[in-house]
Structure 1
């Protein structure tokens, strides 16, 4: 019997599920349908769902293999567009070794229908590789507290309930504006140090943005200053950034290609586990330091960790929350900022409009931000929304059907993973007029050009997800992004004087090439 046959036999009963598109995806339980249901009876058969045909033995996994397959993971955005053009609004990629079929959806009406039916205790697709790490490889560390990533059911519900009061309350997030602004100011000063004789940033500028994101998370979550921009910075800060990148790069390799790692420790799997151990060990060191330094503080000075401990005196809950925040909060936020800066550099007229808004609210160059001032910056928020519409850091969300149901007019059986193709949808003229143009004005309540909002569907662009499993760190991420963009545009004029960059997934959806942006100091 061939190795592939053995692998297929061993994996056939696996219920593990993964989405390369969004590790933060908000899950859902679909409504129950049965053969007596009119909608079910009138729907087309699951076998009729169009999609690429699998090969014998190799299924459709071969399509993700370099040089052989035609589904390059780093360009899954383009793959998704082609699938939509060829097959329509519902596309099935079936016969995937070690994972359920994937159903790609390209209609926001179907997405809204599914979200509106979200169950009180939803089931989400989980990453089998991360699930293995948390629940088997390091079971002695995590125990029955898996956190929010690669966890579902009662375990997820218990954890999420305990941390939601801290993480999802806007009033709590606003308490950290001063802390977030101080880190943003450090980054603005760092930009000044990085500029060359042409006022341009170095080719590895994205890594510097990663440092800002890491520093922000550490201050907010733990009230620990890592000193990422210091001349003699702790080398563990770069090790942590590299480990997070390694984790995200290896996730789609382990989950979409033939999963040999389930049979033996492949080099990729070893590298993956090593990266997670690096993140856990460094995170635990900083958590321990934060707990040792904890003291009676004013309500506005407490870290997220201290607030969680105050609500539930469980150090394990606080530690696992910090681990998950470091795991998924660095690259996502930093790549969003990188993309926003790049788009502003490409669109000087939009940048000028944003600068005028910031200058009118922060009259003095040293004027400090607060919640009221940020609330007035409507164009700033519009710029962020428009960037994430055209270039979402995570290009789609994953779901899993837990009952037989009708999706997009087809009978979809239990156990199929539904993937919401937000990147493709949010760049379609059908849902956003002049969709290929960078037009932040479309998001303004007043001042939006006539007709620009006419076909705007509320579920066509969801960069933070929706519902009960919306991104846990959304409130803090939005504040961090708004603050750092405001402080940068207040201080610098941005230009990009090279050939326009394409976007790719590496590991987030980000400009493909060095971000040599010119930062000219404003008077």
Structure 2
């Protein structure tokens, strides 16, 4: 009995000690947060929701209601100015809508990518996601080595060679739309263009035929699950500790594993082909394998490194282009005059021919303006962030080192300071003779870390849109939402549901 009482006494003292220790640790953390507040509170910003959580409750409220957090950012910048402070626990983020600072920071390699954000993209709920690939690599030398090896797969010479695949996959969509027009079936354009862009990246990057317009595949759902998980993982630090979220987190981990195990399978098949001396395409997968540099004797780390880039290209090469196409179709459906002007250009340049050439794309000037204007209002990758390792002055405000800056193309694109009547869809803003936006339009980021695949994406988008305008009339069905859904990337919330009809050229001529 005495031994039991002694043990009970020891446990009681241990618990008291742990509680005191926990209280001291919490107090120290609160003092550290107070230090952070004192260091950065001279920078304008909205009132914090709470001392500890900062502005996090505002983000979570917007997410819970299905809103777009970038609209919140836009509102704050319009109220508090082009340098706006945001707090979350002990982290401080600056929203910056100042072209001079955008130029200074994004155009220089001395400002590394945001450690907090890109560490959260390395693993997604403890499952390796983008790892240390091109998008997430923070070390400049490591990134530069990868970029140098990948560049040939995105050269103009290589991209010219992709026109056959772009045309072929876009034709599959036209065939599907023909069937829907004949059957008078409603078309969810976001879903359809998602199938096409995923088909394209699978074929031209990894040599795989998915044919998602006719076959089912787990990839679209896996990508969507990963992106949704990414948003919660980045914006809600406590998300993974809430038991009600554990089933969803399990699904996210499963989706990550699916992408990486599929990549491992495709890489192994390519390695076997190389080893057997078979001819292999000079595609992104080949470039990924060259990055490792040890096709015959790769370590586990080398294999993970290749899978990082596999997942990076598989997601980045599909999701944003599909969303841009859907937003473009949505805006053309809302603006019949712009739609007719775009159709006339396609008729003049392409005529009735089925295969669009690389040279044809350069002649589709107005369609390029339409696609650029789409990305101004709806930048599907809405922004990028950088760490500031040294003191800097922005718009007359002293910014101490150690802070993260978020540059939002979404915010800048919707400010009347940079674009007159910013919510008006006006492709003439990007007319060849119009003044160029000065560091306030950057849907593919800027500088050395700008998107490697931007020319690839715009070529693909042009081919799909040109064929659509050439063959079909489409109109938006009434009653659908035109709101923006924030899933890490931005997409049309309503899916862009259209009625599709074959173009009646005879009627068009009669009307003219």
* TMscore range, shorter length: 0.7 to 0.9
- Name the counterpart of 1:163: 150
Q: Distance in 2 between matches of 1:8 and 1:224?
A: 56
Aligned residues: 466
CA 1:507/1:517 → structure 2, altered by over 3 Å: closer, same or farther? farther
3-state DSSP of counterpart to 1:487: helix
Any stretches of 5+ residues in structure 1 without a counterpart? 15-43, 447-452
Q: Distance in 2 between matches of 1:89 and 1:344?
A: 31
Q: Find out whether 1:359 has 2:347 as its counterpart.
A: yes
* One of 502, 506, 510 as aligned partner of 1:521: 502
* One of 376, 384, 392 as aligned partner of 1:389: 376
Q: Distance in 2 between matches of 1:13 and 1:170?
A: 51
CA 1:505/1:432 → structure 2, altered by over 3 Å: closer, same or farther? same
* 2:352–2:470 Cα contact (<8 Å) kept: no
- Name the counterpart of 1:147: 133
1:280-299: CA deviations, max 9, x gaps? Answer: 1223333434555567659x
* One of 405, 425, 438 as aligned partner of 1:418: 405
Q: Distance in 1 between matches of 2:351 and 2:44?
A: 57
* One of 464, 475, 485 as aligned partner of 1:504: 485
User: Which residues in structure 2 correspond to 1:201-280 (within 5 Å)?
Assistant: 201-202=187-188, 205-230=189-214, 233=215, 235=216, 237=217, 239-259=218-238, 261=240, 267=246, 268-280=248-260
Q: Distance in 2 between matches of 1:496 and 1:364?
A: 25
* One of 416, 422, 426 as aligned partner of 1:439: 426
Q: Distance in 2 between matches of 1:70 and 1:265?
A: 16
Shift of 1:197: 5.0
User: Which residues in structure 2 correspond to 1:334-349 (within 5 Å)?
Assistant: 334-349=322-337
Q: Distance in 1 between matches of 2:169 and 2:451?
A: 22
CA 1:61/1:106 → structure 2, altered by over 3 Å: closer, same or farther? same
Shift of 1:195: 4.6
482-491 vs 326-335, which deviates more?
Answer: 326-335
Q: Distance in 1 between matches of 2:341 and 2:65?
A: 38
1:353-400: CA deviations, max 9, x gaps? Answer: 11111111222342x212111111111111100111111112222111
Q: Distance in 1 between matches of 2:427 and 2:60?
A: 38
1:111-152: CA deviations, max 9, x gaps? Answer: 123234333x84444433332359x7559xx9xx82123321
1:64-121: CA deviations, max 9, x gaps? Answer: 334xx79967321321222023211111012x13x631100122232123234333x8
Q: Find out whether 1:79 has 2:72 as its counterpart.
A: yes
3-state DSSP of counterpart to 2:143: helix
User: Which residues in structure 2 correspond to 1:364-513 (within 5 Å)?
Assistant: 364-366=352-354, 368-446=355-433, 453=434, 456-499=436-479, 501-513=482-494
User: Which residues in structure 2 correspond to 1:270-309 (within 5 Å)?
Assistant: 270-292=250-272, 302-307=282-287, 309=289
Q: Distance in 2 between matches of 1:394 and 1:359?
A: 31
Any stretches of 5+ residues in structure 2 without a counterpart? 1-18, 296-302, 505-512
Relative contact order higher in (CA < 8 Å, ≥ 6 apart): 1
3-state DSSP of counterpart to 2:123: helix
378-387 vs 5-14, which deviates more?
Answer: 5-14
CA 1:511/1:432 → structure 2, altered by over 3 Å: closer, same or farther? same
Larger Rg: 2
User: TM-score by structure 2 length?
Assistant: 0.81
Shift of 1:276: 1.1
* 1:503–1:509 Cα contact (<8 Å) kept: yes
Q: Distance in 2 between matches of 1:416 and 1:311?
A: 32
Higher helix share: 2
* One of 99, 105, 115 as aligned partner of 1:114: 105
Shift of 1:515: 1.8
